[in-house]
Amino acid sequence: MVAAFLLVFFGVRAYRDQVAGGWLTFGRGFVVGLLITVVASVCYVATWEVIYFKMAPGFAEKYAAYAIESVKRSGASQEKIDATTRQMQTFKQMYDNPLTNAAMTFLEPLPVGILVSVISAIVLRKKRAA
C-alpha cells in the first residue's frame, strides 16, 4: 500500500511543476495529495465491493470459520470460543451491509495516504523566489 501511495508524491510534484508554476505551499500540496488519496481510496473500495459481493461470495463465512477454528486449535476455553463466534457473527452482519463494508474498506488505505500526503507536502513545498 505504501508503494502504491508513492504515486501521491509524484502527483503532487507534477502539480507543483506543471500547474502551480514551480512553487507550492504546504497547505496546497497537502490538499492535492489528499485529493489523490481520496480518488485512489474510492477506486480501492469500488474494487473490493465488486470482489466481495460478486467474485468471492461467502468470504465472511470462510473467514469466520477460519477464525473460530484457529481459536479452537489454540486450546482456548469455551468462553473464548463463544466470544469469537459472536464477534465473527457481528463481523459478517456488518460486512454484508454494502455501506458499512465500503466505509470499513475506505478506512484501510486512508491513514497511509494521509501520511504520504503530509510527507509529500513537506518535501515538495517550494516558495516563490522573492
pLDDT at position 2, please? 78
Task: Give per-residue pLDDT as tens, 32-74.
Answer: 999 999 999 999 999 999 999 999 888 889 999 999 999 999 9
| pLDDT (0 to 100) of residue 128 | 72
Residues 47/106, Cβ–Cβ less than 8 Å: no
pLDDT of residue 84: 93
Q: Domain containing 34: what range?
A: 2-124
Query: Would you say residue 6 lies in a domain?
Result: yes
| pTM attached to this predicted model | 0.80
- The answer to whether position 129 is within a domain reads no
In this predicted structure, the answer to whether residue 130 has a pLDDT above a threshold of 80 is no
Return the pLDDT at 129.
64
Total domain count, the chain: 1
pLDDT tens-digit series, residues 21-38: 889 999 999 999 999 999
Residue 80 domain-assigned (yes or no):
yes
Average pLDDT of the residues in 98-116 = 94
Angle at the Cα of 19 from the Cα atoms of 18 and 23, rounded to 5 degrees:
85
Length of the chain: 130
**What percentage of the chain reaches a pLDDT higher than 70?**
98
Residue 60 maps to a domain: yes
Average pLDDT of the chain, as a whole number: 92
Separation of CA 100 from chain center = 14
